[in-house]
């Protein structure tokens, strides 16, 4: 009997800590590379390979490759170079030819390498004076009587490594796992599918990338591994979609011409063609009993708020409730204000609920909660406080999530538990969801991350918008900038000034960042002595922010110095200028959002965005250039993806999705399309992946995406 504890069986989910030779320090190094278990480790792919040619005769050694040959030392010579330095020249002879070997500054080798010794040497082959030559080759001395097998050729994988964990150690660990698992790696994909795509099975694919034999092997293996990831992801999304269709039930809202006209009357302007189209798509979804899951993307200022209001009013006019969730209190407050204004004189009851406005236990908050539950509030606007435990809706039909692509599937599920009637005829009650974002999502990304959402796009901006002029200047020009801006403020315009910090830092330093505190003082004294400069940041109490924002909106504050709290949604048409200090420090999407604060009015003035930047990194320079080059959010988003890469793009991890390790977007777009098609077909044929050939797939899928996609209850 063997003790099972003595030799724990290695599986894909074995933690790297259990691998031989991996202690705390190494485990930490591995984790730093995002590697937690054997599966992660095996999907840590080489970035390149070093080709070591197999052993050949001297004659067959190829110039400029790393070759191996054996022979007998025929002669040696020490060529002194002064101060103990010099080089050792050795002539190695095989049956037919001569190989020159040179070691620099290795006097000690004179003891080892004398005529008659059998050597096997490996090194880069060069030609010198008509002979093949190796400089500083690796060597081993061979015994006279035992003749070892010739060394085979080897493509040594070179892995992304860290200072403490070099590639060679990763190579050893991976080799160990591959040897231990040898062919026992279960393949989640059905054989027919692999045959259809002419792809290797999983175990083979891993061998192809980690131990390639032919130059094409790594590419073939990598493709299969990338496809694996993408197919799992798409299957997860497809199962989720199927589940929503079969198991969830949303209120069907009625649509009529009269209702439509009634709602549009509230807007005070004609919708653009693009807005009309999006409204049409939403209205269609809301009439079905399958929950809508729709993402509306439209550039900053494209007019998403009225779209949200349209949906909410469709719910309210049928006697249901609607909720609007915003990412910041400032934005929630502003939505509350602008919607209240549009609903003035109607019977719609609208309320604001934020964490700051009233603590969870306060009387005011309790009162609002009670009215939500009693159905005495029609539209409730708030922050994430809306998903807090204590809130129950009376009859929620629509949830709108604004400016927040980060609300993943989980948050959406959270609202389901807030429905009063949980189950109706075997189906779970669910509201419709509308997610709005001004960070345009490149199609490639929306397919991977938001594959479970339908997407509507608002193209273009409402009519009458004046273009925004963007200027980039170094900080040495800031005096000119503020002097010019002051001259325009004197004519009645308003300006935002964005800085990265709230307070001055204690330390005195050259590269002290501009802060709200210090910069607003400076601006007030030096450039805007006759005007009102106010400041705004995330640490102010909501009530204080309300007052400041109100004064700015009314035109009583002329210069608003702020942190990025004003990044999303803030809408003051008379603000026609924005200055962004230390612009190189902000992300591309952030800069685009900030710039979107201006250009909202119809006054005949030049909207001006000034980026004060002294970029020191390449990336910083690229970002500033990109923002100066274009005002098109979609172009900027593609550029952002290009600069940052997909892994980083607005924090993939925030979606709670396992990261893609092998697949690269957009390069693997063709595989993604393939995976999407296959996933749809597979779920169509076997809705819950219950067929025997899909069992492994199902298991792997639940393990990897179960939590992220809320698939647990699917099983």
Residue ranges that bind ligand ADP, judged by CB under 6 A: 269, 271-272, 275, 298, 300-306, 438, 462, 571, 600
Give min distance, CB of 224 to Mg ion, in A: 43
Residues 304-323 that bind Mg ion (CB under 5 A): 304
Give min distance, CB of 536 to Mg ion, in A: 18
When CB distances are held under 5 to 8 angstroms depending on the partner's kind, the choice from ligand ADP, Mg ion, none that residue 275 binds is ligand ADP
Q: Which is nearer to ligand ADP, 217 or 571 (CB)?
A: 571
Give min distance, CB of 512 to Mg ion, in A: 34
Q: Report yes or no: 553 and 579 within 8 Å, Cβ to Cβ.
A: no
Q: Which is nearer to ligand ADP, 188 or 301 (CB)?
A: 301
The reply to whether 251 sits near Mg ion by the rule CB under 5 A is no
Q: Which is nearer to Mg ion, 334 or 411 (CB)?
A: 334
Q: Which is nearer to Mg ion, 279 or 368 (CB)?
A: 279
When CB distances are held under 5 to 8 angstroms depending on the partner's kind, the choice from Mg ion, ligand ADP, none that residue 462 binds is ligand ADP
Q: Which is nearer to Mg ion, 189 or 436 (CB)?
A: 436
Region binding Mg ion by CB under 5 A among candidate stretches 221-229, 469-477, 538-546, 569-577:
569-577
Burial of 130 by CB count in 10 Å (0-12 exposed, 13-18 middle, 19+ buried)?
A: exposed
When CB distances are held under 5 to 8 angstroms depending on the partner's kind, the choice from ligand ADP, Mg ion, none that residue 114 binds is none
Structure tokens at 272: 């653009």
Give min distance, CB of 438 to Mg ion, in A: 6
Give min distance, CB of 602 to ligand ADP, in A: 9
Question: What gap in Å lies between CA 459 and CA 461, rounded to an integer?
Answer: 7
Give min distance, CB of 403 to ligand ADP, in A: 7
Give min distance, CB of 304 to Mg ion, in A: 5
Region binding Mg ion by CB under 5 A among candidate stretches 85-93, 235-243, 563-571, 660-668:
563-571
- Residue (of 377, 441, 388) closest to 411 by Cα position: 388
Structure tokens at 175: 């080799």
Q: Which is nearer to ligand ADP, 188 or 303 (CB)?
A: 303
Classify 507 as helix, strand or coil.
coil
Question: What gap in Å lies between CA 255 and CA 305, rounded to an integer?
Answer: 20
- Name 236's Cβ contacts closer than 8 Å, sequence gap at least 6: 701, 704, 705, 708, 709, 711
- Name 62's Cβ contacts closer than 8 Å, sequence gap at least 6: 53, 125
Q: Report yes or no: 569 and 334 within 8 Å, Cβ to Cβ.
A: yes
* Helix, strand, coil % in the chain, rounded to nearest 5: 40, 20, 40
Question: Tokens 């799992």 label which residue?
Answer: 232
- Residue (of 579, 633, 609, 600) closest to 338 by Cα position: 600
- Count other Cβ atoms within 10 Å, centred on residue 685: 10
When CB distances are held under 5 to 8 angstroms depending on the partner's kind, the choice from ligand ADP, Mg ion, none that residue 306 binds is ligand ADP
When CB distances are held under 5 to 8 angstroms depending on the partner's kind, the choice from Mg ion, ligand ADP, none that residue 298 binds is ligand ADP
Output the residue with the shortest Cβ distance to Mg ion.
569
Residues 286-305 that bind Mg ion (CB under 5 A): 304
Measure CA of the first residue to CA of the last residue in the chain; give whole Å: 37
- Name 636's Cβ contacts closer than 8 Å, sequence gap at least 6: 440, 588, 589, 592, 626, 627, 630
When CB distances are held under 5 to 8 angstroms depending on the partner's kind, the choice from ligand ADP, Mg ion, none that residue 571 binds is ligand ADP
Between the alpha carbon of residue 331 and those of residues 339, 441, 608, 680, the distances in Å are: 12, 21, 23, 38
Give min distance, CB of 169 to ligand ADP, in A: 51
Q: Which is nearer to ligand ADP, 130 or 464 (CB)?
A: 464
The total number of residues written for the chain in this structure: 715
Region binding Mg ion by CB under 5 A among candidate stretches 10-18, 345-353, 561-569, 660-668:
561-569
Output the residue with the shortest Cβ distance to ligand ADP.
303
* Residue from 569, 601, 615, 710 binding Mg ion (CB under 5 A): 569
Interface contacts to Mg ion, rule CB under 5 A: 304, 569
């Amino acid at each position: 009997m063997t003790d099972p504890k003595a030799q724990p069986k290695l599986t894909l989910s074995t933690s790297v800590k259990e691998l031989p030779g991996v202690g705390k320090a190494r485990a930490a190094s591995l984790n730093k590379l995002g590697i937690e278990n054997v599966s992660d480790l095996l999907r840590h792919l080489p970035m390149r390979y070093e080709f070591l040619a197999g052993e050949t005769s001297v004659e067959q050694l190829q110039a400029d490759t790393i070759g191996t040959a054996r022979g007998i030392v025929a002669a040696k010579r020490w060529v002194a170079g002064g101060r103990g330095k010099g080089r050792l020249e050795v002539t190695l002879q095989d049956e037919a030819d001569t190989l020159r070997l040179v070691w620099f500054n290795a006097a000690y080798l004179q003891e080892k390498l004398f005529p008659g010794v059998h050597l096997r040497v490996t090194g880069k082959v060069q030609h010198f004076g008509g002979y093949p030559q190796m400089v500083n080759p690796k060597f081993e001395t061979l015994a006279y009587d035992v003749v070892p097998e010739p060394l085979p050729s080897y493509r040594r994988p070179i892995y992304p490594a860290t200072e403490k964990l070099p590639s060679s150690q990763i190579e050893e660990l991976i080799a160990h796992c591959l040897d231990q698992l040898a062919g026992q790696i279960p393949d989640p994909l059905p054989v027919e599918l692999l045959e259809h795509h002419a792809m290797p099975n999983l175990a083979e694919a891993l061998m192809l990338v980690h131990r390639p034999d032919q130059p094409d092997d790594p590419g073939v293996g990598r493709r299969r591994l990338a496809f694996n990831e993408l197919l799992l992801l798409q299957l997860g999304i497809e199962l989720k979609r199927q589940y929503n269709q079969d198991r969830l039930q949303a209120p069907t809202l009625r649509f009529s011409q009269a209702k439509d006209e009634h709602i549009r009357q509230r807007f005070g302007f004609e919708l653009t063609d693009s807005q009309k189209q999006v409204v049409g798509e939403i209205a269609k979804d809301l009439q079905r009993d399958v929950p809508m899951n729709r993402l509306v993307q439209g550039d900053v200022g494209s007019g998403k708020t009225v779209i949200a209001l349209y949906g909410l009013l469709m719910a309210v006019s049928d006697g249901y409730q609607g909720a609007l969730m915003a990412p910041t209190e400032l934005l929630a407050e502003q939505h509350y204000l602008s919607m209240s204004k549009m609903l003035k004189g109607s019977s719609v009851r609208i309320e604001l609920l934020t964490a700051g406005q009233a603590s969870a236990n306060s009387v005011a908050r309790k009162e609002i909660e009670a009215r939500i539950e009693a159905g005495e509030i029609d539209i409730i606007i708030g922050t994430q406080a809306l998903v807090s435990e204590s809130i129950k809706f009376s009859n929620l039909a629509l949830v709108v999530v604004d400016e927040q692509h980060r609300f993943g599937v989980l948050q959406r599920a959270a609202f389901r538990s807030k429905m009063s009637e949980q189950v109706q005829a075997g189906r779970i009650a669910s509201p419709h969801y509308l997610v709005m974002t001004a960070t345009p999502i490149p199609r490639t990304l929306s397919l991977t991350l938001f594959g479970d959402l339908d997407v509507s796009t608002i193209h273009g901006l409402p009519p009458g918008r004046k273009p925004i002029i963007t200027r980039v200047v170094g900080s040495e020009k800031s005096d000119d900038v503020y002097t010019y801006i002051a001259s325009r403020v004197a004519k009645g315009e308003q300006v935002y000034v964005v800085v990265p910090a709230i307070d001055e830092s204690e330390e005195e330093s050259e590269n002290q960042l501009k802060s709200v505190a210090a910069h607003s003082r400076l601006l007030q004294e030096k450039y805007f002595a006759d005007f009102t400069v106010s400041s705004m940041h995330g640490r102010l109490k909501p009530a204080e922010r309300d007052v400041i924002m109100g004064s700015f909106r009314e035109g009583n504050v002329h210069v608003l110095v702020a942190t990025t709290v004003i990044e999303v949604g803030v809408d003051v048409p008379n603000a026609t200028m924005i200055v962004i200090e230390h612009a190189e420090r902000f992300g591309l999407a952030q800069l685009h959002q900030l710039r979107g604060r201006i250009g909202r009015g119809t006054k005949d003035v030049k909207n001006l965005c000034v980026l004060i930047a002294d970029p020191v990194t390449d990336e910083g320079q690229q970002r500033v250039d990109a923002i100066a080059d274009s005002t098109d959010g979609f172009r900027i988003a593609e550029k952002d993806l290009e600069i940052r890469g997909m892994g980083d793009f607005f924090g993939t991890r925030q979606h709670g999705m396992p990261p893609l390790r092998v697949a690269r977007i957009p390069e693997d777009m063709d595989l993604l399309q393939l995976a999407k098609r296959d996933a749809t077909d597979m779920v169509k044929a076997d809705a819950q992946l219950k067929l025997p050939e899909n069992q492994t797939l199902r298991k792997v899928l639940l393990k990897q995406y179960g939590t992220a996609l809320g698939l647990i209850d699917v099983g």
